[in-house]
């Protein structure tokens, strides 16, 4: 699977060399390319931003460098050529372009699973007040564009969101996480939060591990874990619980 990240701070993405994802990159399971948006500017000052039409605080990222950078990215990798009529293209025909933004749809485990099945995912990291809105409509000619938010708060730029999304998607690529069973039992995979986990010693500073986990009775352990999942989801995330409950 290939990721292309466009940013004005390529060094932000250096941590992708560390840990499981770093190993996955070295083993060729996940291919990550980082592009400096300023390499796609045409002026002496390598300008990527300008003042907003209509006034207001802050700067807006200019469309021209984004168009050049995204055209370059779309031409990379094992990517199907853009269809003559983008409207007739199915979702699998074009690479995905993720645009991190607090005004996007929520990035979820479900979306991470969907993206892990794609060959090519590009990420456009905004800064300042964001990217000129016209870029997103234009980019539909080359990509399936998804505006995605990490959560209901505002970051300084899209790089942290890109890191989170690459990690969430990358770890679902077969071979990246050693034991695939550990991926299935995690929070959000079945609409519930994960059950609490414990390791040795069985008694630590006067706090005992729940006795059922020491019983050796797999049926009882499974039932206890399920009840814990339901209880903590109900208590901590009423929104998830309501969605889960209504599916029953």
Q: Mark the binding-site residues for S-adenosyl-L-methionine, compressed into ranges.
A: 126, 150-155
Report the distance separating Cα 116 and Cα 96, nearest Å. 11
- Closest residue to ligand SAM: CB criterion: 126
Stretch 109-128: interaction string toward ligand SAM, x if CB under 6 A = ----------------xxx-
What are the residues facing 33 on neighbouring strands?
4
Residue 236 CB coordination number (10 Å): 11
Rounded CA separation 116/166 (Å): 10
> Which one, 158 or 170, has the nearer CB to ligand SAM?
158
- What is the C-alpha to C-alpha distance for residues 122 and 140, in angstroms, rounded to an integer? 13
Q: Which of 7, 149, 229, 233 touches ligand SAM (CB under 6 A)?
A: 149
Is residue 51 close enough to count as binding ligand SAM by CB under 6 A?
Answer: no
Nearer to ligand SAM, 12 or 241 (CB): 12
Helix (H) or strand (E) holding 233: helix 218-236
- Which residues fall in the annotated binding site? 126, 150-155
Segment contacting ligand SAM by CB under 6 A, of 35-43, 77-85, 156-164, 180-188: 156-164
Among 141, 157, 177, 234, binds ligand SAM (CB under 6 A): 157
Interaction of residue 151 with ligand SAM, rule CB under 6 A: yes
> Sign of the CA dihedral 115, 120, 124, 125?
positive
- Which of 66, 74, 62, 72 minimizes the C-alpha distance to 143? 74
H or E stretch covering 245: helix 238-247
The pair of structure tokens assigned to 244 is 């889960």
Choose, by CB under 6 A, the member of 46, 102, 118, 237 that binds ligand SAM.
102
Q: Pick the binder of ligand SAM from 84, 87, 154, 197 (CB under 6 A).
A: 154
As a whole number of angstroms, the distance between CA 18 and CA 41 comes to 30
> Min. distance of Cβ 2 from ligand SAM in angstroms?
21
Instruction: Rule CB under 6 A: say whether 65 interacts with ligand SAM.
Output: no
| x/- map, 158-177, ligand SAM, by CB under 6 A | x--x----------------
Phi, psi of 224 (to 5 degrees): -65, -45
Residues that bind ligand SAM (CB under 6 A): 100-103, 125-127, 129-130, 149-151, 153-158, 161
């Amino acid at each position: 699977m290939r990721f292309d990240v466009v940013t004005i701070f390529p060094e932000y993405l250096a941590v992708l060399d560390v840990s499981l994802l770093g190993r996955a990159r070295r083993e060729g399971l996940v291919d990550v390319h980082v592009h400096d948006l300023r390499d796609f500017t045409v002026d002496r000052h390598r300008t990527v931003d300008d003042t907003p039409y209509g006034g207001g605080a802050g700067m807006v990222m200019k469309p021209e460098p984004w168009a050049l950078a995204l055209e370059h990215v779309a031409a990379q990798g094992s990517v199907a050529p853009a269809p003559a009529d983008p409207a007739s293209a199915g979702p699998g025909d074009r690479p995905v372009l993720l645009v991190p933004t607090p005004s996007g749809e929520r990035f979820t485990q479900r979306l991470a699973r969907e993206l892990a099945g794609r060959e090519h995912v590009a990420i456009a990291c905004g800064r300042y007040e964001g990217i000129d809105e016209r870029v997103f409509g234009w980019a539909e000619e080359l990509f399936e564009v998804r505006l995605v938010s990490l959560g209901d708060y505002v970051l300084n730029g899209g790089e942290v969101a890109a890191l989170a999304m690459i990690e969430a998607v990358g770890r679902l690529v077969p071979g990246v996480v050693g034991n695939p069973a550990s991926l299935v039992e995690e929070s959000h995979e079945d609409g519930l939060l994960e059950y609490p986990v414990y390791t040795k010693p069985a008694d630590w500073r006067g706090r005992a591990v729940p006795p059922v986990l020491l019983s050796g009775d797999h049926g009882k352990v499974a039932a206890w874990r399920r009840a814990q999942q339901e209880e903590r989801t109900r208590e901590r995330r009423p929104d998830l619980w309501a969605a889960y409950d209504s599916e029953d």
